[in-house]
């Protein structure tokens, strides 16, 4: 990893000059403009106060030290004390040749469990579910790539008060024919109907509560209905997951923790983290936390979302050697997780718990709402994206077989949808826009896929003309265009690391876009196959490495790179 390796080099130089205490941070940054070299450090400015020296003097001393390192072609002190560093072409060539590859799995580091997607049973998956699903999936791929043992857990919302209501609604209003055609849509319809009817007739709520209690007491009829709701829902979700290439390792759902909940309530009370308040079991928080009390068990004995959450953590803690637990949900659950993490800490559970929130997806007109009927189903979105991609393939590559067109359209359409989400800052709210989501121009997956396909096509042509790449490094960095591309490529591994540390796949998207743009500049201005043999081979190998980097990077976003487009 080039800049991690660079960081070490700079830190070691700092340590030699000023002692280890100062070597924690090299303040290294990529430069935006090559006038300032490839990387810049403002260590001197940051450490001046602590060292009691002038920044320029610190910078000068550090620059002299760095100049002895053969990986640098040039070291300069600039402005009030910046150090600009330029790498040698040999070093860049070696790093590009080395490329990017996954680290072997390190089970001793413990398991990273990622909890994502997690839809609520009996509701169709709509675009709102896209974010957790694709962000979680990408984080999973990134951590696996970095050698972590990862367990992908789809924590289904398959337990809770909605099931009492569904059971009542099912018995009263189910339209058998509709249910046969599209079971989850029908379940949603009767669920919405229940809410409307219950406003007029509050006795329905009472009935639903009774059915819920019977379900929780494992009444066979209600259990059978519940199982059916889960089964038909999963059948439908699986179709979406399969198309999106999303796989889970476990899918326990909230119901799995039902029997563990009484133990949690007991532990909370024994450790005096929770107490009885007005008949309920409640956790109160320190004033400085500014969190409202968290109800663990209601007066009527019912457990809540927080209860199953805690039971779930207890279960995972007991069954896995944990590295960390990551939860990918929208930002509205921030308070919930703050409460839960606080409680887990007070119970003395020593676990690295991380909430990875994301912004909401809405429409220009406001929020999606089932009631308003403006919800876009995930399946519709995917179909539309693939159809648009199919039309483009048809236009650009009519000679391909129908089968190949289908495969490409699927990869491109789904790639566009995923990338439209993953390339954004995770925390920003997203306004759903068909054209933006399905755009194939600019910073989009199709642009990256196209760049990859272009490289593959160049490679095929080279092979046809008898130009064969030797196994060793033949990359010569002969001009600024090649240099800029090489530098962008060498930054990918460290970008992946940063994306993992900050749970931000968009950093990878940005780096890939930068690489693709630089590659296209290279491709459009520098001939490859027409050159003499050594230049042709060098450019071909640089191209092939770029293709591999794009493919690997897209893979981390869950997007397939195709051979032609």
Query: Got the DSSP string for 402-469?
Result: HHHHHHHHHHHHHHHHHHHHHTS-TTS-EE--HHHHT--SSSSHHHHHHHHHHHHHHHHHHHHTT---
Exposure on the CB side of residue 143, measured as CA atoms within 13 A: 26
Nearer to ligand ARG, 165 or 545 (CB): 165
Nearer to ligand ARG, 310 or 552 (CB): 310
Query: Got the DSSP string for 161-208?
Result: THHHHHHHHHHHH--HHHHHH-HHHHHHHHHHHHHHHHHH-THHHHHH
Contacts 24+ apart (CB under 8 A), 206-215: 207/168, 208/161, 208/164, 208/165, 208/167, 208/168, 209/161, 209/164, 209/300, 210/164, 211/163, 211/164, 211/167, 211/168, 212/161, 212/163, 212/164, 212/167, 212/302, 213/164, 215/163, 215/164, 215/167
Nearest residue to 135 (alpha-carbon basis) of 425, 333, 332, 510 = 425
Nearer to ligand ARG, 118 or 233 (CB): 118
CA distance 239 to 186: 18
Q: What is the DSSP letter of 375?
A: P
Q: Which residue minimizes CB distance to ligand ARG?
A: 157
Nearer to ligand ARG, 309 or 514 (CB): 309
CA distance 519 to 485: 6
Count of chain residues binding ligand ARG (CB under 6 A): 9
Nearer to ligand ARG, 145 or 327 (CB): 327
Shortest separation between residue 121's beta carbon and ligand ARG, angstroms: 9
Shortest separation between residue 325's beta carbon and ligand ARG, angstroms: 9
**Residues 174-193: x/- map of binding to ligand ARG (CB under 6 A)?**
--------------------
Exposure on the CB side of residue 425, measured as CA atoms within 13 A: 3
Nearer to ligand ARG, 40 or 162 (CB): 162
Shortest separation between residue 43's beta carbon and ligand ARG, angstroms: 42
157 interacts with ligand ARG by CB under 6 A: yes
Nearer to ligand ARG, 371 or 533 (CB): 371
551 interacts with ligand ARG by CB under 6 A: no
38 interacts with ligand ARG by CB under 6 A: no
Nearer to ligand ARG, 36 or 358 (CB): 358
Nearer to ligand ARG, 134 or 542 (CB): 134
Shortest separation between residue 120's beta carbon and ligand ARG, angstroms: 5
Nearer to ligand ARG, 119 or 124 (CB): 119
339 interacts with ligand ARG by CB under 6 A: no
Chain centroid to CA 399: how far? 36
* Residues between 100 and 129 that touch ligand ARG (CB under 6 A): 115, 118-120
Q: Which two tokens stand for residue 36?
A: 């300032």
Cβ atoms of 547 and 452 within 8 Å: the answer is yes
Exposure on the CB side of residue 158, measured as CA atoms within 13 A: 23
Shortest separation between residue 315's beta carbon and ligand ARG, angstroms: 11
324 interacts with ligand ARG by CB under 6 A: no
Shortest separation between residue 111's beta carbon and ligand ARG, angstroms: 16
Shortest separation between residue 118's beta carbon and ligand ARG, angstroms: 4
Shortest separation between residue 359's beta carbon and ligand ARG, angstroms: 15
Shortest separation between residue 308's beta carbon and ligand ARG, angstroms: 8
155 interacts with ligand ARG by CB under 6 A: yes
Residue 299 CA: distances (Å) to CA of 209, 237, 261, 276, 282: 14, 35, 15, 9, 10
Question: Which residue do the tokens 């390190």 mark?
Answer: 106
* Residues between 297 and 316 that touch ligand ARG (CB under 6 A): 309
327 interacts with ligand ARG by CB under 6 A: yes
Cβ atoms of 116 and 143 within 8 Å: the answer is no
Nearer to ligand ARG, 311 or 542 (CB): 311
Shortest separation between residue 160's beta carbon and ligand ARG, angstroms: 9
To 10 degrees, what angle do helices 89-98 and 533-556 make?
50
Nearest residue to 413 (alpha-carbon basis) of 274, 177, 231, 244 = 244
Shortest separation between residue 157's beta carbon and ligand ARG, angstroms: 3
CA distance 414 to 134: 11
Using CB under 6 A, pick the residue from 42, 329, 451, 560 that binds ligand ARG: 329
Shortest separation between residue 329's beta carbon and ligand ARG, angstroms: 5
* Residues between 47 and 76 that touch ligand ARG (CB under 6 A): none
Nearer to ligand ARG, 155 or 539 (CB): 155
Binding site for ligand ARG (CB under 6 A): 115, 118-120, 155, 157, 309, 327, 329
């Amino acid at each position: 990893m080039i800049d991690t390796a660079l960081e070490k080099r700079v830190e070691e130089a700092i340590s030699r000059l000023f002692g280890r205490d100062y070597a924690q941070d090299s303040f290294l940054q990529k430069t935006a403009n090559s006038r300032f070299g490839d990387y810049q450090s403002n260590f001197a400015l940051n450490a001046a106060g602590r060292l009691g020296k002038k920044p320029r003097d610190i910078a000068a001393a550090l620059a002299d030290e760095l100049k002895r390192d053969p990986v640098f072609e040039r070291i300069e002190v600039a402005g009030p004390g910046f150090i600009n560093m330029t790498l040698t072409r040999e070093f860049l060539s070696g790093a590009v040749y080395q490329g990017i590859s996954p680290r072997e799995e390190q089970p001793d580091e413990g398991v990273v469990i990622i909890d994502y997607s997690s839809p609520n049973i009996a509701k169709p998956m709509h675009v709102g579910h896209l974010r957790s699903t694709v962000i979680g999936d990408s984080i999973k791929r990134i951590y696996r790539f970095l050698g972590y043992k990862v367990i992908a857990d789809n924590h289904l919302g398959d337990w809770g008060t909605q099931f009492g209501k569904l059971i009542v609604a099912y018995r009263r209003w189910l339209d058998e024919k509709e249910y046969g055609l599209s079971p989850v849509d029908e379940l949603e319809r009767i669920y919405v109907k229940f809410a409307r009817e219950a406003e007029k007739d509050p006795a329905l709520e009472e009935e639903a509560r009774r059915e819920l209690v019977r379900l929780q007491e494992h009444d066979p009829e209600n259990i059978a209905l519940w199982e059916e709701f889960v089964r038909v829902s999963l059948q439908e979700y699986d179709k979406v997951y399969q198309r999106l290439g999303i796989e889970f390792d476990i899918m326990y759902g909230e119901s799995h923790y039902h029997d563990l909940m009484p133990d949690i309530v007991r532990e909370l009370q024994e450790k005096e983290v929770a107490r009885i308040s007005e008949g309920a079991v409640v956790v109160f928080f320190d004033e400085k936390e500014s969190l409202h009390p968290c109800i663990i068990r209601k007066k009527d004995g019912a457990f809540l979302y927080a209860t199953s959450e805690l039971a779930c953590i207890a279960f995972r803690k007991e069954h896995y050697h944990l590295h960390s637990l990551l939860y990918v949900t929208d930002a509205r659950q921030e308070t919930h997780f703050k409460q839960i993490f606080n409680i887990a800490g007070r119970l003395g559970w020593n676990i690295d718990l991380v909430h990875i929130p994301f912004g909401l997806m809405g429409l220009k007109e406001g929020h999606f709402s089932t009631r308003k009927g403006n919800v876009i189903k995930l399946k519709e979105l995917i179909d539309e994206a693939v159809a648009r991609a199919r039309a483009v393939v048809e236009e650009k590559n009519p000679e391909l077989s129908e089968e190949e067109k289908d495969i490409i359209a699927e990869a491109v359409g789904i790639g566009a949808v995923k990338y439209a989400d993953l390339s954004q800052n995770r925390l920003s709210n997203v306004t759903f826009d068909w054209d933006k989501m399905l755009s194939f121009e600019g910073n989009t997956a199709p642009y990256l896929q196209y760049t990859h396909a272009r490289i593959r096509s160049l490679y095929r042509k080279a092979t046809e003309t008898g130009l064969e790449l030797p196994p060793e490094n033949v990359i010569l960095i002969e001009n600024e265009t090649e240099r800029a591309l090489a530098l962008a490529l060498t930054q990918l591994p460290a970008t992946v690391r940063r994306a993992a540390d900050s749970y931000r796949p968009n950093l990878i998207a940005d780096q890939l876009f930068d690489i693709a743009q630089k590659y296209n500049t290279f491709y459009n201005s520098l001939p490859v196959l027409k050159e003499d043999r050594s230049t042709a081979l060098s450019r071909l190998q640089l191209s092939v490495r770029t293709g591999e980097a794009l493919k690997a990077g897209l893979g981390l976003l869950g997007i397939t790179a195709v051979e032609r487009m």
